[in-house]
Each structure stands twice: as structure tokens, then as C-alpha cells.
Structure 1
Amino acid sequence: MTTSVAPPSRDRLPSLTGLRTIAALMVFSFHIYAVAIFASPTVNKWMSHSASQGGVGVTFFFILSGFLLTWTARKDDPARKFWRRRAVKIIPNHLVTWVLAFVFLSLSGLTLTGSFGGIGLDSLPNLFMIQDWFPRAGVFFSMNIPSWSLGCEAFFYLLFPVTLWAVRRVRPQLLWPTAVLLVGLVWLMPVLANTFFHGGPLVPGLPVSEDRMWFVYTLPPVRMLEFVLGIVLALIVESGRWPRIGLWPATALALAGYIGSSYLPYLFGLVAGAVIPLALLIPTVAVADLQGKSSPWRGKTMVWLGNVSFAFYMVHQLVIRWVHYALGATRSWDTPQAIAVTALILAISLLAATVLYYAVEMPLVRLLSRSRRTPPAAPLTAAPAPEAEVASRSLTLQR
């Protein structure tokens, strides 16, 4: 059976905003695990399945981005206006954190892949968000590491107007087969990486070569499969073809996908392992909001945290590196002390994200996202939610 939401509403979808909090914490947890703050082998073994799949959070953000941008698309909205709104959303936070990363790396000399060489090949592509096109970890994971995902998002945004135009021409009865095809292509990417890339230098701290990691995880055309999947899912909901899936079963399936992906071969666990559960979760949560059903993700605190999640995503890795460097760059702690250090990092990250959100992100979004010369374009069917609350961002990795 399908769930009808026709005529489709463009009301806010607060539960999806709240879920962004969980996705951002996935990335945070992975980065805590990656720097080995906990000395206990037992704790680290447990974290290898409970905190190692930060990439799942990025997959969530990429699917969510396509879903929300489609759901709030404006009729006859010129591409240049769309691009301006997206640029205002991501570039200021990126520039602030790039400068902070440059200061830290200049002082510490520490990077993920070796010594910091200042302005050069490793830093300039990152500044211009083109680092994902270079198959070297020293480039795509340079500077503020999570910013790699912005290179993908920038590519998605550039192509979104024509992509949405094309996908909207898919007949409604073919939307589900299209979604299945996209999922299949996501699963095909690790197969192609293992077949056509023959390894080389490993990404520091990860059991995968740079070229395979680049192809499966950071190459924008490959990651766009998830973004387009989000577009297709939004159109399925809009057409009233979404099946009746309970919110709690979808949530449980997503949790199982997160944990289960850690048991897959590494390249498959990065993205493919959780793509199906996330593709079921996001529309199900959206439908729950549209139908006014109970949702644990809709509370004021969760929504507020979701609103600052992009800023949190952008600052948390810098805070981890600063604090770890200040307390001992290669140090690990016994479990009680490690929990205290993690709590300290989380608190500082949330404080820094709040400052970035209210001092940089929101003021510039309000100031620059709309043209002063013309009134806002009419929405597709009803007024879309405010940009700051419905726009997606991006994790990456640490992404």
C-alpha cells in the first residue's frame, strides 16, 4: 500500500532537520575513534562497529540534500538565484574554517597525510572546493578534512537545475525502477574500484588505497548517485507512491544498516552498505511530518541542533585536532579520562558551531540569499520553508 500526500505540501519537515543532528554525531564519533582518544583495546573494538561508520552520516546528508532541494524547489526559479542561495549557505562557513585550519596546520605542522607545506597543492584546491577531483589523500583530505564533502555538494548544486528538469521527465510509474537502478549503481562503484584500480599508497589510518578511496568516496560524479536518489525519492513522495512504512521500523532498519555496514568489506561499507536503509528512512520521516504523526526527531532541541549541524560539521574536526594537540598529539587515555576529553571536545565543538551559525551563517543567509531587485519567485505549490531550516548541508569525513 502507498501513502498519499497529494496535493503535496511544502510545509517544513522538522523531523528531517532533527535527524541531521544524528548524522553529524555519526561523523563526530568516527573522528573521535579515528584519533584513538580511548586507550582501551576493548573500547576501541566496540567502537570499531559503533563509531567507525562516519561515512554513513555523509550518505545521509547527500540523499537528504537531493530530497530537500527537490521538495522545496521554486517554480521558474532562475539557476543563478539558486546557485547564489547555495553559495551563501556553504561558502562563508567554509572560508572561516579554512582559515582556522590554515592557522592550526601552520602552527602544528600536522596533517592527516604528512607535514604541512603551507599554500600549495594540498591547500589551494581545498580553498576552491575542487579537492575531490585529485586522487591523492593529501589533497582530498587536506586542510579541514570534512570540507571534502563541500566539493561534492558544489558539484551537485551546479548540476541541480538541469538534473531536476531531467528527473521530472521520468514517468511516475518509472520512479521506483529509477531508484532501484541508482541503488544498484551505488553498489557497483566498489566493484569497479576493485576491478580497475590496483591500489597504491594507503590513506593514512585507513585500510584502503588512495585511488580506491577517491573513486568510491570523494569523486563528485560517483557521489552524485546518492544526491539524484534523493531527488527521485522526493518525487515518489510527491506523487503519492511512497509505501506505508512505520517510522520506528525505518529507524531500526537504518540503525541496522549503520552497524551492519561496519562488517562489510571496507569499500562496500563506506557508502553502499547503508544506502538502502537511509533511502527508506528519509522519505518515511518526511511523510510522518506531512501527516502529523508522532516523531522523536521533531522536538525543539533536536531541531535547533539540526539547524546548527552544518556549522558543527565544519568545526568539530578542527576542535578535535586542536584539543588533542594541546593535550598531547598522539596521546590516548584510560576510559574515564577519554570520556571526559570527548565530552570537552563535544562541548567546545557545539559552542564554536553556535557562534559560527549565529555570527556568520545566518546573518549572511538572510542578507544575501534573496535578490534586492526582484521579489522572491513563487514556490512550486506553496511557500517553502526558510532556507536556513530546510537546506541541506554536508559530512563527510572524515567525512
Structure 2
Amino acid sequence: MRIEQLTFTRYVAALTVVFFHYGMTVFPANVPWVNPVLAAGPIAVSYFYVLSGFIMAIAYYRPEQPQQAFATRRYWWARIARIYPVYLLALLLMIAAKYQTVGSEPLTVALSVSMLQAWIPGYPITLNTPGWSLSVEAFFYLCFPLLILLVKRYPLSNLTLAAGILWLVTQLGHGILLNTEAYAPRGLLHDFIFYNPLMHLNTFMIGFIAGAWLRTGRLNRFSAPLINISGLLLVSVLIIGLLISRKTLIDASGIAFDYTNGLIAPLFLLFIVLLALNTGKISQCLQHKWLVLLGEASFSLYILQKPLHGIYEKLMPIAINPHGALHFYVFVVLLTISALCSYWFFEAPARRWLNNFVNRTP
């Protein structure tokens, strides 16, 4: 079951990460009320996690076949094939770029190669910065067989309640820790709050539960055109409004909070479910082959952005102002082309080869 209208949203979310890292000062990201939306990169990672849980439930959960055994070996190799080849390529490029210093930091390299860097405060954003989110995703993959087992043994309503409690506890814990005197930006507590996989599990969980509900057919009522379109419009307005007003809300309440650990993930989830159930012009437009292709290439775009930006900075002629909009948008175009090439000639072939190798007939 493929829901291709969701695929392009991954490219849009990945672009907000690129804006956050390299385009904060260019138009239109330099417009105060546009910046929180266009450069919402860290918050977009939460969207990725919700979408990941949702899509994996769609792919693996079979409510009509509750006794079917979970193909564990095939699952693990499929997950490795999905993320590790391009992840390793980006990491090797960063190691090559830092070869003079990385030799004195074997633990940094070991944690990144093993995808454990997000677990250890002080190490999440070493080497290839976006890689921390893949370290978190790898933890979700470890948890997933257990989630499949639970969803087969217990009623979905009970698991929905558990996912809701986990989301609430995570948000309370995030808020309390962020407002303690011990918290300091870029400190060890900061690394735990913002990067540790346990602080993001709630987003993957609610996505997984929603995907399981969709598989049962119980959410089909939301495909009715009037409900679906009005719901998509309302949720989109709420998400944009909350992104724009975050600083105002913090100033008014005097309480520090952030959206990066899933605070607005339920709204992301509603958007994903409604878009997945849409059967009208919106989904038809988003299913265009070029938009789907950009979405498929978004993983390469996301994970390769840092090493490719380093190469771009060294090779780009000095005639282009390195702080100007043209410099940034040329990079975005070249990064997108590079991501497409990576997807066509490396990511997809490597994935096929690994899956075929594992699934070959003895």
C-alpha cells in the first residue's frame, strides 16, 4: 500500500532544514513572520518521525493476518538498506573533510559509524550534523518489532492511550527540564533534551498508532471531501499559526518551550492522516511523478547537505556573494540535483542490491 501524496512533503520538510542551516538570512527567510515557517528545520524533524511511524505501520501491520509471522531478518536488512548506504557515504565525506582532526577522536567516529551518537551528550551533532536524527531513527527501528508484537496482542484503543500518555509525559519532562536552572544552551542537558532518542519516541509512536488505525479502515470516514479538505485547511493554519507565534507565546507566558520534541506532533499527525485519505485534486497533484521523485530523493538531500555544502563553499567562484541569496539558491538547486543523482545512481541501487542479496533463493 503506497500513499504517494505524502512523499513530496518529505522534500518540503527537508528544505526547511536546509533553510535553517544555511538560508536564515536570505529572502524570504529573513522576513520575521516567514522565518519560523520556512526555516522550521528542527521542528520538521518531528514531522519526519511522525511520518516514519505512520508509513512503517502501513507497510508492516496486517490486521487481516494477525497470525502472520514477522519476517525479522528481512525487516532488519530492509531497514539497513533504507538508510545506511547514504548515511555512511555522507559520514565518510565528513571524515575525509576533517581528516586532520578526526584521527584524534576515535570515539566520535565510532559513535557516528554505529549510529549511537544521539545517545551520548556531547556527541549528537559531531561530524555530520544531520546524522543525529538518523541515530534516533535507528532506535525507532529497534523498537518497531516490539510495537508490531504489541499491536497484535493488545487492543489498539489501549495502545492509543499508552501513546497519548507517552506524548504527554515527554512534553511535561521536556518543559520541566528546559526551564530548570541547570539548563544551558549547547550543554549536556541540552543534548539530552533535544537529541536523545527517548525524547523523540513519542512522535514515532503516535505516527505508528495512527497508521495501524488507518490499516483497520476505521479512519475512512475522514476521506469525505468536505471533512477532509476543511480539516487539512484548519490543521495547516493551526501549524503555521503556532510556528509564527511561538516566540510571542514564550514572551507572554514566561515559560520556555519548543516544538522539536513533538509538542505539535498531534497536528502533524492529523495533517498526515487527512492527506493520506485525500482522494481529490490535492492528492492527484502531489502524486505527480516529479514531485514523488523529489520526495524519494529527500533523504539524500537531507543527509548529504553538510558535506556538499562544504564542497560548494570551496568550489563556488568568489564572484558570488557568499552571504547573498543567489549563493544560497544556487546551492539549493545543486543540492537537489545531487540528491536526485544520489537517489538514482547510489541510494536506490544499493537498496535493491542489499534487499536482493538477503532475499535471494538459497
In the alignment of these two chains, the number of paired residues is 340
For the Cα contact (< 8 Å) 2:23–2:328, is it kept in 1?
no
Offset at residue 192 of structure 1 (A): 3.9
Distance 1:272 1:156, change over 3 A: closer
Please, which of 322, 325, 350 is the counterpart of residue 339 of structure 1? 325
Distance 1:175 1:163, change over 3 A: closer
Counterpart of 1:269 in structure 2 is 259
Counterpart of 1:221 in structure 2 is 198
Please state whether the residue corresponding to 2:106 is helix, strand or coil. Answer: coil
The residue type equivalent to 1:123 in the other structure is V
Distance 1:77 1:53, change over 3 A: same
Counterpart of 1:126 in structure 2 is 112
Offset at residue 123 of structure 1 (A): 2.6
Offset at residue 118 of structure 1 (A): 4.9
For the Cα contact (< 8 Å) 1:152–1:223, is it kept in 2?
yes
Q: Which runs of 5+ in 1 are unaligned?
A: 1-9, 110-115, 201-207, 376-399
The residue type equivalent to 1:251 in the other structure is S
Please state whether the residue corresponding to 1:129 is helix, strand or coil. Answer: coil
The residue type equivalent to 1:353 in the other structure is A
Counterpart of 1:70 in structure 2 is 57
The residue type equivalent to 2:349 in the other structure is P
For the Cα contact (< 8 Å) 1:63–1:229, is it kept in 2?
yes
CA deviation vs aligned residue, 1:317-373 (integer Å, no higher than 9, x gap):
2223333455699x9766xxx111111111221122122212221112112214344
**Residues 175-190 of structure 1: matches in 2 within 5 Å?**
176-190=160-174
Distance 1:118 1:359, change over 3 A: farther
Counterpart of 1:392 in structure 2 is none
Please state whether the residue corresponding to 1:189 is helix, strand or coil. Answer: helix
The residue type equivalent to 1:32 in the other structure is Y
Taking CA–CA contacts closer than 8 Å with sequence separation of 6 or more, which of the two structures ends up with the larger relative contact order? 1
The residue type equivalent to 2:42 in the other structure is G
Please, which of 277, 302, 322 is the counterpart of residue 313 of structure 1? 302
Counterpart of 1:17 in structure 2 is 7
Please state whether the residue corresponding to 2:183 is helix, strand or coil. Answer: coil
**Residues 85-124 of structure 1: matches in 2 within 5 Å?**
85-106=78-99, 118-124=104-110
The residue type equivalent to 2:273 in the other structure is P
- Alignment of 1:359 with 2:345, yes or no, is yes
Residues in 2 aligned to 1:348 and 1:127: alpha-carbon distance in whole angstroms: 27
TM-score by structure 1 length?
0.75
The residue type equivalent to 1:27 in the other structure is V
The residue type equivalent to 1:49 in the other structure is P
For the Cα contact (< 8 Å) 2:87–2:131, is it kept in 1?
yes
Offset at residue 63 of structure 1 (A): 0.8
Distance 1:118 1:184, change over 3 A: same
CA deviation vs aligned residue, 1:49-85 (integer Å, no higher than 9, x gap):
2344211211111111111111110642321210110
Q: Which runs of 5+ in 2 are unaligned?
A: 62-67, 251-255
Please, which of 242, 259, 282 is the counterpart of residue 272 of structure 2? 282
**Residues 112-261 of structure 1: matches in 2 within 5 Å?**
118-136=104-122, 139-174=123-158, 176-194=160-178, 198-200=182-184, 208-242=185-219, 243=222, 244-246=227-229, 247-261=232-246
Counterpart of 1:389 in structure 2 is none
Distance 1:182 1:280, change over 3 A: farther
Offset at residue 301 of structure 1 (A): 2.1
Counterpart of 1:84 in structure 2 is 77
For the Cα contact (< 8 Å) 2:202–2:262, is it kept in 1?
no
Please, which of 15, 18, 24 is the counterpart of residue 28 of structure 1? 18
The residue type equivalent to 2:299 in the other structure is F
The residue type equivalent to 2:135 in the other structure is G
Distance 1:358 1:27, change over 3 A: same
Offset at residue 95 of structure 1 (A): 1.2
Distance 1:272 1:161, change over 3 A: closer
Residues in 1 aligned to 2:330 and 2:203: alpha-carbon distance in whole angstroms: 34
For the Cα contact (< 8 Å) 2:37–2:240, is it kept in 1?
no
Q: Of Structure 1 and Structure 2, which has the larger fraction of its residues in helix?
A: 2
- Alignment of 1:369 with 2:360, yes or no, is no
Please state whether the residue corresponding to 1:145 is helix, strand or coil. Answer: coil
Residues in 2 aligned to 1:124 and 1:79: alpha-carbon distance in whole angstroms: 26
Residues in 1 aligned to 2:209 and 2:117: alpha-carbon distance in whole angstroms: 28
Offset at residue 235 of structure 1 (A): 1.9
TM-score by structure 2 length?
0.82
Please state whether the residue corresponding to 1:72 is helix, strand or coil. Answer: helix
Offset at residue 294 of structure 1 (A): 3.5
Please state whether the residue corresponding to 1:121 is helix, strand or coil. Answer: helix
Residue identity (%): 24
